[in-house]
Amino acid sequence: MSRSHDLFTAAQHHIPGGVNSPVRAFRSVGGDPVFFASAAGSKVTDADGKTYIDYVGSWGPMILGHAHPEVITAVTEQAARGLSFGAPTELETQMADKVCELVPSMDLVRMVSSGTEATMSALRLARGFTGRDKVVKFEGCYHGHVDSLLVKAGSGMLTLGEPSSPGVPAALAELTLTLTYNDLDQVRETFAKMGDEIACIIVEPVAGNMNCIPPAPGFLEGLREVCDQHGSVLIFDEVMTGFRVGLGGAQGRYGIKPDLTALGKVIGGGMPVGAFGGRREIMEKISPLGPVYQAGTLSGNPIAMAAGLKTLELISKPGFFDQVEASTTRLVKGLSELASAAGVGFSTNQVGAMFGLFFTADGPVTNYAKATACDQDAFRAFFQSMLEQGVYLAPSAFEAGFVSSAHSDSDIDATLDAARAAFAKLAG
Ligand code: PMP
């Protein structure tokens, strides 16, 4: 038996399901989760000493690859000066200036400690700013485990939402309307009915939590227009896409200015960080300037700021995103060609250094219904074969994949070699 197996058994004594975040448990792919011991560059090493080419990158943050020497130096130097002060530091101003420079829709930004905190705070602020309670989200988008956002569509279109987890009060879920991603007509219809009650639309501008699904042409523009017409706040949840699909995030890539943006993952370079910010007029409603309350003991933590700042500095170098995007394209194109040669129904999506793999002959995949209709068994078999061959993909068919600047051509080639065997097994 593997050391990962023993560690997983031990973990379950005092940790629910043996994990501190559910998707890590491998429930949807089967088998024991791999326990990691260390990571460097494009590779992770498990507790048994086996090394994998990693396409999860801690679920997005590690765009420079793991343990980048300059980030590690920034963190260790900062750690020696103190772990947390709970008082302002110059690093926080440097971070705010950098974020507002890279994401021009943000005039003011507040740091928090996770993506969930960022979306939760943005939602409260949108409600506080508009004096309205209803929020619009899209089926298949995930915005962290915020009560108001753990809501699925009610039966029938344009009905109010139902909790998607016990513990979320129905009275709160009723204020959340869950619509179909990439269906602008439905958004317009909803706003025609109750636009003056809707505080905000929150959207992943490239969906990354139902695998990877790009916005249809005109979708984001349409959301901007509808929000302008009805005085609602447009929130882009760029926790995943920020500093990932381009230096200016999805909003830079598609040229749309949201009112508020939630950030996470890359902004912390692997440390627990999130941020939310946007238009000055809205952000000035946050305490201590305004009445909308929001706070955090560890917000703007100096070590997290040091890791994030160094990461943002390194990804700002000219050509950075061209390189990671080219590696991603090489991977995705290679996988498509291999699947097609093997006669496996397969479709891919890619935006920048983010990709999605779908086991379906009915591509492209454009929304949640299409993503959930894909062949889960084929994904599971592919995942397990790749894992065995030393390629670590997200252990769920509904997660996007990530490439880092540390992924070399030979990493991609090795991945494609493994995929050739995995597809052959599936086809056979
Ligand atoms: N929003 C999006 C788009 C995300 O992908 C995630 C996490 N995967 C979150 C919010 C929540 O972030 P966190 O897990 O840091 O709370």
- Chosen domain end from 299, 315, 331: 315
| Same domain (yes/no): 304, 349 | no
Query: What pLDDT sits at residue 153?
Result: 75
Q: Provide the whole-model pTM.
A: 0.98
The reported pLDDT for the residue numbered 156 is 58
Q: Which residues are catalytic?
A: 142, 237, 265
Q: Ligand 1 — pocket residues by CB below 6 A?
A: 59, 114-116, 119, 142-144, 204, 208-209, 237, 239-240, 264, 274
Of all protein residues, whose CA lies closest to atom 10 belonging to ligand 1? 143
pLDDT tens column, 257-296: 999 999 999 999 999 999 999 999 999 999 999 999 999 9
Residues 223 and 299 in one domain: yes
273 shares its domain with 325: no
Same domain, yes or no, for 113 and 51? no
Task: Give the residue whose CA is nearest to atom 12 of ligand 1.
Answer: 115
pLDDT tens digits along 362-405: 999 999 999 999 999 999 999 999 999 999 999 999 999 999 99
Beta bridge partners of 213: 207
Q: Which of 24, 209, 267, 273 to mutate to test the pocket of ligand 1 (most atoms within 8 A of CB)?
A: 209
Name the residue among 330, 297, 317, 362 with its Cα closest to residue 113: 297
- Percent residues over pLDDT 90 in the chain: 96
Tell which one of 62, 111, 119 to mutate to probe ligand 1, the residue whose CB is within 8 A of the most ligand atoms.
Answer: 119
The rounded Å distance from CA 142 to ligand 1 centre is 7
Domains identified in the chain, total number:
2
pLDDT at 158 over 60: no
Structural domain boundaries, residue 250: 69-315
For residues 344-352, give the mean pLDDT. Answer: 98
Counting ligand 1 atoms within 8 A of each CB, the residue from 58, 141, 143 with the most, and so the one to mutate, is 143
DSSP string, 122-149: HHHHHHHHHT--EEEEETT----S-GGG
Q: Do 306 and 341 reside in the same domain of the chain?
A: no
pLDDT number for residue 157:
52
One domain, residues 178 and 102: yes
Same domain, 57 and 206: no
Q: How confident is the model at residue 138 (pLDDT cuts 50, 70, 90)?
A: very high
Residue 160 confidence (pLDDT): 74
- Residue at which a domain ends, from 279, 299, 315: 315
Q: 387: domain CATH number?
A: 3.90.1150.10
The ipTM is 0.99
**Pair (143, 224) in one structural domain:** yes
Which of 315, 344, 366 is the C-terminal boundary of a domain?
315
334 and 185 part of one domain: no
Output DSSP code: residue 213: B
Residues 305 and 406 both lie in one domain: no
Q: What is the CATH number of the domain that holds 252?
A: 3.40.640.10
Q: Residue 274 CA: which ligand 1 atom is closest?
A: 15
308 and 362 both lie in a single domain: no
Ligand 1 center from residue 90 Cα (angstroms): 27
Distance of CA 212 from the midpoint of ligand 1 (Å):
14
Q: Are 95 and 204 contained in the same domain?
A: yes
3-state secondary structure 241-305: CCCCCCCCHHHHHHCCCCCEEEEEHHHHECECCEEEEECHHHHCCECCCCCECCCCCCCCCHHHH
| 14 C-alpha to ligand 1 centroid (Å) | 25
Q: Measured in angstroms, how far is the CA atom of residue 179 from the centroid of ligand 1?
A: 19
